[in-house]
Amino acid sequence: MSSSDIFIGETIGTAILILLGGGVCAAVTLKASKARNAGWLAITFGWGFAVLTAVYTSAPLSGAHLNPAVTLALALKKDGIDWSDVPIYWGGQLLGAMIGAALVWVAYYGQFLAHLTDKEIVGTPGKKAVEAQEKGAGPVLGIFSTGPEIRVAWQNVATEVIGTIVLVLAVLTQGLNDSGKGLGVLGALITSLVVVSIGLSLGGPTGYAINPARDLGPRIVHALLPLPNKGGSDWSYAWIPVAGPLIGGAIAAGIYNVAFA
């Protein structure tokens, strides 16, 4: 795989991942969406199908890592990818995540405006309410990025580490197909179902980022978009869904090298 293939494949694949994954969060969250209040099952299966679609699309070009934690693990894995390719993968993943988040905003533009300008959604008007909103997570940040139900840093990190270990071990133990193009057809399906399982079993505490680019790229887009009453981007939490998955990916690679290689 050439550097351009890797970068283009990861950009396209991660954009699709975030478009469909963030899209289901928008569908469930936003006022005037036909899927509003569809619930956690819709979100977990929506993200699983997003992974499936993204992997199918990008695997022929880049191997469909779509996740810096997966890329790190494959670099640490015995006979893994070249370290020189890691920045190329990461750059494509971050760019793709930002493109996907921006496309969610375009697709739900009217719903974003309706949701953020409705007084019942935004909350009581007034200076104190606005100031409080700007300091923490805004009312639509959950469409773009993750956040904890209970903010305990060590537990939030541990949850992301554990979830990512499960994901990356599932990827590593399936291995690459014979042509070196990434996960095979069955592997893509299994990976998507693993993501659904992680969401159902471990997603409740933090919203299961398990992917640094999935959280950081859309959080940057949230900060930049001209959304009225959008509130803050919760940057004080942003390091956790980056550090936790990277730690989890490294641990998963270590487990794989000891137990499976």
pLDDT digits (tens, 9 = 90+) for 213-226: 999 999 999 999 99
The confidence band for 6, taking pLDDT boundaries of 50, 70 and 90, is very high
User: Does residue 136 or residue 113 have the better pLDDT?
Assistant: 113
Q: What is the pLDDT of residues 133-186, one digit of tens each?
A: 445 688 999 999 999 999 999 999 999 999 999 999 999 988 544 444 445 567
Task: Name the pTM for this structure.
Answer: 0.91
Residue 101: pLDDT over 60: yes
Least confident of 174-188, 194-208, 228-242: 174-188
- Distance CA(60)–CA(151), nearest Å, equals 40
Distance of alpha carbon 31 from alpha carbon 222, whole angstroms: 18
| Helix, strand, coil % over all residues of the chain, rounded to 5 | 70, 0, 30
**Predicted confidence (pLDDT) at residue 7 exceeds the cutoff of 90:** yes
